[in-house]
Amino acid sequence: MTTPTRRSLISLIVLLLAAFVPAWGQEIRHEIHFPDLPGLITLKCDLHMHTVFSDGQVWPTVRVTEAWRQGFDAISITDHIEYQPFKDDIPTNHERPYQLAKGGADARGLILIKGTEITRDTPPGHFNAIFLDDINPLDTPEFLDAIERSNQQGAFVFWNHQAWQGEEKGSWMDVHTTMFENKWFHGMEVCNGGSYYPTAHRWCLEKNLTMLGTSDIHAPDLRLRSAPDDHRTITLIFARERTAESIKEALFAGRTVVWFQDQLIGKQEHLEPLFHAAVRIELPIIRSGKTAWLRVRNAWDVDVQLTRTGDVGPGSIKLPARATTLVRVTTAEPDSPLDLRYVATNLLIAPETGLPVVLKVEGSD
């Protein structure tokens, strides 16, 4: 009797250990690579996601471990106020996701921003309010009351997935004008999950609204790391410091770029310095006869697609992420300085408009 009992006891202990090792063993974070801008820190942020407290499929702490593991700096859990399909199992408590996630976020140095999704039929649609003190006052029948109360708390408010029910339903209505004129909403999702909204993109440029990209994730995110060809849609935020307060200041100032699939979407004033911080020609330049060999280093997590607009250089160049590409340039005057003029077709400064870039090559004398 003794031996089998002891054996089952040992098996039980081994099983328990296996179950708890991740809790006190190792957790690994894989960094996302984007350079900083002069005087600013590039923070990788996902400001729209759900848990079982609305229609998501995970407990709030899971959102923290996923985000930290995949290299994010800040997240906001934004459960729907008005839509809780699991409320028979999980009682309505708008503050609870933040409370449950906060300890794990603090332990990992992940910035957790208190937020929610104000959820009305389209139009007017869904709006996220983040940097809230208290979500409860937003649980009110009138849509504009909820928006106004968000603003009374100093929240940053943005319009989610503008055309998710079609362009017609995503039209700009009087209610949006009222909000816009009162400065009650401050940004729009240009990208949500796998969708890109060119109309939202255009409105952000025309009306000086902040561009956001978010995952709006509901299911567990099983990725171990973010990769150039497999990552969440997120917002790069150019903040003065690595704090929630600085993120808020940067959002109100519009200092963002969206990372969506193999594209970056943002204002030229941010994309251009970000590109030049990431993509550099290594020195010295090797020249031979009428040929110059350029080693072009691409240090960020985006493959860059270049199409020539000037007279020098190959017709198109692909610079894979976090790699160096040898580019051969033939010219009648190989010793003179060269300006390689291209458009980066997957770095969008407006719908269907790539970022113009000039790769400057020094002369040899």
Shortest approach of Zn ion to residue 310 CB, angstroms? 44
Nearer to Zn ion by C-beta: 66 or 216?
216
Residue 226 to residues 71, 79, 189, 276: CA-CA distances in angstroms? 7, 23, 20, 22
- Name the segment binding Zn ion (CB under 5 A); options: 113-121, 269-277, 321-329, 345-353: 113-121
- Name the segment binding Zn ion (CB under 5 A); options: 34-42, 125-133, 141-149, 242-250: 125-133
Using CB under 5 A, count the residues that bind Zn ion: 4
- Name the segment binding Zn ion (CB under 5 A); options: 106-114, 120-128, 205-213, 336-344: 120-128
Taking CB under 5 A as the rule, does residue 126 contact Zn ion?
yes
What's the rounded Cα separation, in Å, for the pair 292 and 286? 6
User: Could you tell me which residues are beta bridge partners of residue 359?
Assistant: 340
Residues from 257 through 276 that contact Zn ion (CB under 5 A): none
- Name the segment binding Zn ion (CB under 5 A); options: 10-18, 88-96, 111-119, 322-330: 111-119
Shortest approach of Zn ion to residue 72 CB, angstroms? 17
Tell me which of 66, 216, 221, 301 binds Zn ion, using CB under 5 A.
216
Shortest approach of Zn ion to residue 289 CB, angstroms? 59
Shortest approach of Zn ion to residue 74 CB, angstroms? 17
Shortest approach of Zn ion to residue 160 CB, angstroms? 5
Closest CA to 260 of 353, 196, 304, 345: 196
Shortest approach of Zn ion to residue 152 CB, angstroms? 23
Taking CB under 5 A as the rule, does residue 63 contact Zn ion?
no
Binding map of Zn ion across residues 154-193, x = CB under 5 A, - = no contact: ------x---------------------------------
- Name the segment binding Zn ion (CB under 5 A); options: 21-29, 126-134, 205-213, 220-228: 126-134
Closest CA to 48 of 171, 193, 221, 203: 193
Residue 41 to residues 191, 231, 237, 260, 313: CA-CA distances in angstroms? 22, 20, 8, 20, 33
Taking CB under 5 A as the rule, does residue 79 contact Zn ion?
no
Residues that bind Zn ion (CB under 5 A): 117, 126, 160, 216
